[in-house]
Amino acid sequence: MSARPPFEDLYREYLTRIYGYVYAQLRNSAEAEDVTAQVFMSAYKAYDRFEVRALTPSAWLFRIARNAVYDHHRRTQVRERTEHRLRAELPAGFDPAVVAEDRVLFGELLAAVRRLPDRQQEVVALRHRSDLSFKEIGDLMDCSEDAAKMLYHRALKALREMVPK
C-alpha cells in the first residue's frame, strides 16, 4: 500500500494550483479564495479515507475542486443572473475591479479564455494548472482521453482566433 503524504505537504504543493484552477472559472479573487478554502476543508476532513492506490493526490484534489466550483455556480446562479442584468445596463467593461485586473498582463488572454464554452475553459485550466494527464482529465470530466484532447485542441483553436497576435 502506498504511503499517504502528510496533508500539509499536499496543501503546500497544491494550494496555488487549485486556487489558479478555481480563479480561472470564477470571476474574482474573493470567490476563488472562498471556494479554495472549501476545497481544502473538505479534503482535510476526507483525507483519512483517501487511498493513494485508487487516485493520485492531484486527481483527488482537482475532483474535489471541480465539485466545489459546480456547487458554487449552483449557489450563485440566481445572484449572477441579477448581476448580469445590472451589468448589461452599465457601459461595457467598466466594472472597476475587472478593468484593473484586465488591464494588467494577460488580461486579454484571460478574457478570451472566459469566453470559451465552460468545458473548454475547464480543460484548458486543468491542462495548465494541474499535472494531470489527458487520461486523468478525461476521467475527471467524464469523457475519454481522446475526447479530452480534442476538447483542448478545439479550445486552443478558438483562442487563436480570439486573441490578436
Burial class (CB in 10 A: 0-12, 13-18, 19+), 130: buried
Residue 131 within binding range of other proteins, rule CB under 8 A: no
Q: Work out the number of other CB atoms within 10 angstroms of the CB of residue 33.
A: 14
User: How many residues in the shown chain lie near other proteins by CB under 8 A?
Assistant: 44
Tell me which stretch binds other proteins (CB under 8 A): 26-34, 60-68, 69-77, 131-139: 26-34
Helix, strand, coil percent values for the chain (each to nearest 5): 75, 0, 25
Residue 86 within binding range of other proteins, rule CB under 8 A: no
Tell me which stretch binds other proteins (CB under 8 A): 57-65, 76-84, 92-100, 114-122: 92-100
Give the integer Cα–Cα distance in Å for 9 and 12.
5
How near is the Cβ of 6 to other proteins at its closest, in Å?
Answer: 8
How near is the Cβ of 100 to other proteins at its closest, in Å?
Answer: 4
Residue 91 within binding range of other proteins, rule CB under 8 A: yes
- Calculate helix-pair angle for 118-129, 7-25, nearest 10 degrees: 150
DSSP-assigned states of every residue in 41-53: HHHHHHGGG--TT
Residue 118 within binding range of other proteins, rule CB under 8 A: no
Tell me which stretch binds other proteins (CB under 8 A): 23-31, 51-59, 67-75, 79-87: 23-31
Residue 158 within binding range of other proteins, rule CB under 8 A: no
Tell me which stretch binds other proteins (CB under 8 A): 29-37, 65-73, 78-86, 140-148: 29-37
Grid coordinates of 10: 499536499
Which residue in the block uniquely carries the three cell numbers 487520461?
Answer: 135
